[in-house]
Amino acid sequence: MNPPNILYLHSHDTGRYIQPYGHAVPTPHLQRLAEQGVLFRQAFCAAPTCSPSRAALLTGQCAHSSGMIGLAHRGFRLHDYRQHLVHTLRSAGYRSTLIGVQHVAPDPAMIGYDEVIPAHPAERTASNAVEFLRRASAAQPFFLSVGFTNTHRPFPTPAPEDDPRYTMPPAPLPDTPETRTDMAAFHTSARMLDRDMGAVLDALEENGLAENTLVICTTDHGIAFPGMKCNLTDHGIGVMLIMRGPGGFTGGRVCDALVSQVDIFPTLCDLLGIAPPAWLQGRSFLPVIRGEAAQMRDELYAEVTYHAAYEPQRAVRTQRWKYIRRFGDTATPVLPNCDDSPSKDVWLAHGWRTRPVPAEQLYDLAFDPQETCNLADNPAHVTTLEDMRARLLAWMRATDDPLLSGPVPAPRGAQVNDPHGLSPQEPVVQY
């Protein structure tokens, strides 16, 4: 059999809020994909902000190592676009095509895809992908990236079947009419995402490509609600990851091993027999898929440096513990890093702007999975705190984290909000 095709399906701001993860968000096509493939219950992004997350997945290294410490459309870049996955796959005989959103370069031509199909209008993304699959050649394996704007804000008006009266807001938020309506609108956006991803998956089958195509279905980070996207709790870094296809990604299995999106690149190298590039920082999880190991990592790491505004923070997560360290002197929420929404307005009305944010946070994920009880100052957990501090510092040193030398400046030309502001829509500072 020829090397498998690779279909990379990705969305904006979906977290794990889809049907296969048990949420009341009807996504039947993604449910079917999970029932045919492998669902990763403990998959995490490397950075809960759009460009850094995608860059980490596509270069196999943390955001500050790749150079993508902020948003591509605001002036941040990869150090070297030759580290993008498409260049390694090209050396193995793959032809690459981009359809829809990419978000790791201001101009997709910078990345190096063999073919770029315009991202606008966004409504054409699914149909463009379907058309590509109709004409796909069996002579050369393809890497097809299909990026959807859903479930990014602004959300559509809730559809009749997404009645706010019977909708539960996400876990960090209070149950109010405003948050219910906001979440109902997310449900409608998720339905649209599922419809479009389903059309692409159906086209794989209709054109006889499903059996020899590895599907990687994921998102960049948590949903765009307060305390979620751009936060290092699991609400921000937890992501959907469903894979189906050659290499053992079949059978409707559920995987509970810790997986970071930086592990996808080395897993592909392992699966395809490609020598892994020297810059990779992740590790292949094929041994877990093959049943040769229960886990392939003891911990994983995540970071934020810039989103709309500067908010330097780093985190380490094990199966049991989460440690978050904030840098700098900002001790209250950086509100421009939260998208404007009715849910944000609810928190602001209750004093969110002045609510203290601790410099260190330690959570016991067995007894506090919502990460609400900070144990960093609890004497009973000093040994755990010191261990997690040491893990994080060792990683920062090993990856040459620029935060070790102090505040990290934005690159020339970058557009950044005042961290003491209120909204990402406020005027920006140009560096």
| Angle (deg, nearest 10), helices 177-206 and 342-349 | 150
* Assigned domain for 431 exists: no
DSSP annotation string for 35-60: HHSEEETTEE-SSSSHHHHHHHHHHT
* Assigned domain for 430 exists: no
Residues 303, 138 contacting (CB under 8 angstroms): no
Helices and strands: H and E segment counts in the chain: 11, 16
Residues 299, 387 contacting (CB under 8 angstroms): no
Q: In the listed set 299, 317, 347, which residue is the last one of a domain according to the structure? A: 299
Give me the phi and psi of 315, to 5 degrees please.
Answer: -150, 150
Which residue from 35, 38, 43 is spatially nearest to 19, judged by alpha carbons? 35
| Angle (deg, nearest 10), helices 28-36 and 177-206 | 50
Q: In the listed set 299, 318, 353, which residue is the last one of a domain according to the structure? A: 299
Which residue from 368, 347, 345 is spatially nearest to 357, judged by alpha carbons? 347
* Assigned domain for 82 exists: yes
Q: Are residues 182 and 60 in the same domain?
A: yes
Residue 385 lies in domain: 307-425
Show Cβ contacts of residue 102 under 8 Å, excluding neighbours closer than 6 positions.
Answer: 54, 108, 111, 119, 145, 147
Which amino acid, one-letter code, is at 393?
L
DSSP annotation string for 230-273: T-SSHHHHB--EEEEBTTTB-SSEEE-S-EEGGGHHHHHHHHHT
Q: Are residues 321 and 283 in the same domain?
A: no
CA distances from 360 to 277, 316, 323, 406 (A): 35, 12, 7, 17
Residues 335, 299 contacting (CB under 8 angstroms): no
Q: Are residues 90 and 144 in the same domain?
A: yes
Q: What are the pLDDT tens digits along the chain (431 aa)? A: 689 999 999 999 999 999 999 999 999 999 999 999 999 999 999 999 999 999 999 999 999 999 999 999 999 999 999 999 999 999 999 999 999 999 999 999 999 999 999 888 889 999 999 999 999 988 899 999 999 999 999 999 999 999 999 999 999 999 999 999 999 999 999 999 999 999 999 999 999 999 999 999 999 999 999 999 999 999 999 999 999 999 999 999 999 999 999 999 999 999 999 999 999 999 999 999 999 999 999 999 999 999 999 999 999 999 999 999 999 889 999 999 999 999 999 999 999 999 999 999 999 999 999 999 999 999 999 999 999 999 999 999 999 999 999 999 999 999 999 999 999 999 999 98
Q: Are residues 256 and 350 in the same domain?
A: no
Number of domains in the chain: 2
